Amino acid sequence: MTETLDRLVCHHGPGARAIVWEHNTHIGDARFTDMAEEGMVNVGQMVRERHGGAGVVLVGFGSYRGGVIAGKGWGEPMRRLPVPPARRGSWEDVLHRAGADDKLLLFGQAPGREADADPMFRWRGHRAIGVVYHPEYERHGNYVPTVLPRRYDAFLYFDYTRALRPLHIMAHLEGEVPETYPSGV
């Protein structure tokens, strides 16, 4: 993915910019999650390393509760699933307790080791919801240990989310032609 991104930006010239929309697990810098302990890397980390952070902005998302479209397993049909209130002490819980409003956190340049005493630089669970999601594992799983201001440059927090309405499915169920027809079918 990072090689393709580099080729595309090179192809479009020195002024080219790109926005890559990926799951938090892929875009947030892996060095500030438990992925690093397992020797794993991801796109966010590789792009930061290749470009020294110049022009690179990693943005994560989180929510306290709501709903999501996901499957119970790989290859299983998507369905609306509930997202229960976040686990106590997680980033989503801390942001909810700071006020049940949506928030945009801009971290900029995260300070070095001296910030470790700051509660914002504490390792906390950060909910991971992807193509596969198990609401029943909320109390004992679904969370990635994370130093939020180092994993991301910015973080969008939504106190309550609603599951998407996929156009191709909803149009079929409601008997409507999708807004993106024929490209969205």
Asked if the structure places residue 43 within a domain, the reply is yes
CATH at residue 132: 3.40.1660.10
| Per-residue model confidence (pLDDT) at position 175 | 53
Residue 162 predicted with pLDDT over 90? yes
Asked if the structure places residue 184 within a domain, the reply is no
Asked if the structure places residue 180 within a domain, the reply is no
Indicate the number of domains in the chain: 1
Asked if the structure places residue 34 within a domain, the reply is yes
Asked if the structure places residue 32 within a domain, the reply is yes
First to last CA, the chain: 25
The CA distance from 66 to 101, in Å, is 14
CB 135 within 8 A of CB 82: yes
Residue 71 predicted with pLDDT over 60? yes
Read off the pLDDT of residues 33-67 as tens digits, 9 standing for 90 and up.
Answer: 999 999 999 999 999 898 876 788 999 999 999 99
What mean pLDDT comes out for the span 175-182? 55
| Per-residue model confidence (pLDDT) at position 180 | 56
Asked if the structure places residue 183 within a domain, the reply is no
For residue 22, the enclosing domain spans 2-174
Read off the pLDDT of residues 12-28 as tens digits, 9 standing for 90 and up.
Answer: 998 888 888 888 888 89
